[in-house]
Homo-oligomer: A and B are copies of this chain.
Amino acid sequence: MIGPEIDELMRLLARLPGLGPRSARRIALHLLTHRDELMHPLADALVSTAEAIVPCRQCGNLDTTDPCGICQDPGRDPTSLCVVEQVGDLWALERTRVFRGRYHVLGGTLSALDGIGPEDLRLAELIERASAPEISEVIIALDATVDGQTTAHYLADSLSGAGVTVSRLAHGVPVGGELDYLDDGTITAALNARRPI
């Protein structure tokens, strides 16, 4: 009843994260009824972005240039490296505008279950970058999950010979978080890491 073109469009939309068959149908219909304002511009944006954006060979960030804007920026602190799992984590950290050093995108975390070992991550590149004389600190900003923390400890071990300070993000109560809704692990971590006011 609905033609194969729309079916294919809905099938592809349904594969986007957070969308399912119903929301894909709704979006496909919205696109078809807003062709000039939305459908054509979106198609153009997809094509031009797919062509323009390349991964940075140095840090793994996505940008229009390689090395990326952050790696090329002379205003960035050359002494510190922040290790993140994915580009989305890099974006999240950049939004805070607190960290002024450079990044290293690991491309994943170690996972015995998923068969991801050290050789599947950009680990050799990290050790090489961290061993450069100008680097003094490596901040490990991985997820506070089991895989993330396992990877963090593995990284700390691997970096022990690089002559750098290795640190990780603090655990604790999220800003705006209510104690009543927090898990025991977070409360324990926050209590153990308590600080004088």
Contact = CB atoms under 8 A, between A and B. Distances in A.
A160 interface: no
A88 to B, nearest CB: 5
Report the copy number of this chain in the oligomer.
2
Given A53-B5, A62-B6, A42 B13 contact: yes
B70 A26 contact: no
A63 B3 CA distance: 6
Contacts of A87: 29, 32-33
A90 to B, nearest CB: 9
B8 A16 contact: no
Interface of A: 1-3, 5-6, 8-9, 12-13, 15-19, 23, 25-33, 35, 38-43, 45-50, 52-53, 62-64, 69-70, 86-88, 91, 94
